Amino acid sequence: MEEAKDLTQEFFARWLERRDFDAAQREKGRLRSYLLASLKHFLINERNKTRAVKRGRGHQPISLDEIIEQQRFALEPVETLTADQIYERQWATTVLDRVLALLEQDYRSSGRGALFDQLKGLLTDEPGHPSQAEIGEKLGMTVNAVKQAFHRLRLQFRETLREEIAHTVATSDEVEDELRCLIAALRT
């Protein structure tokens, strides 16, 4: 875990120091893809460096700790997603979390925080969330009023999601494509 943190910090330190972000060109693709490719190249180079053995005629010592770790991991569930899929899914969930945070901030600032807390469960399809009738009863609203409030929340969610995605692409024409990528990443 510490090695992963060190590698991440080293990657971004080098990336910023060498101003690699200047090489990213909007017309050649998404910054997210450029960043992923840069990270892959960095990790390959780092792995090659660690494999280069200066002594011991190329023989790696056997670590008992490593053998114990491998046995422990053999008993844990295996992640079937590729690193690229995990990266894309993390990006998608980060965008969705940002959208929900913006909506929550808007609802709380207008005094509707309790309504957001109840409707959020319907929006994210959380297990065990109350029905619209139960929400209405809890908040002293009719079922119709809850349905209308939920409909408005869904519209606002859709609009805020599009706005957030628009901030990550070069042109407005790319928003739909990016939305499809987001949905695909969440389905994997």
**What is the rounded distance in angstroms from the CA atom of residue 184 to the CA atom of residue 79?**
18
pLDDT band, very low/low/confident/very high, at 37 (cuts 50, 70, 90):
confident
H/E element holding 125? none
Q: What is the pLDDT of residue 58?
A: 54
- Indicate the average pLDDT of the chain: 82
pLDDT over 90 at 160, yes or no: yes
Q: What number is the average pLDDT over the span 77-100? A: 86
Contacts of 46 (CB under 8 A, 6+ apart): 7, 10
**What is the rounded distance in angstroms from the CA atom of residue 29 to the CA atom of residue 80?**
27
CB 185 within 8 A of CB 88: yes
Q: What is the pLDDT of residue 143?
A: 93
Residue 141 backbone phi and psi in degrees, to 5:
-120, 155
Residue with the larger pLDDT of the pair 22 and 147? 147
Q: What is the pLDDT of residue 9?
A: 82
Look-up of token digits 């090695």: 3
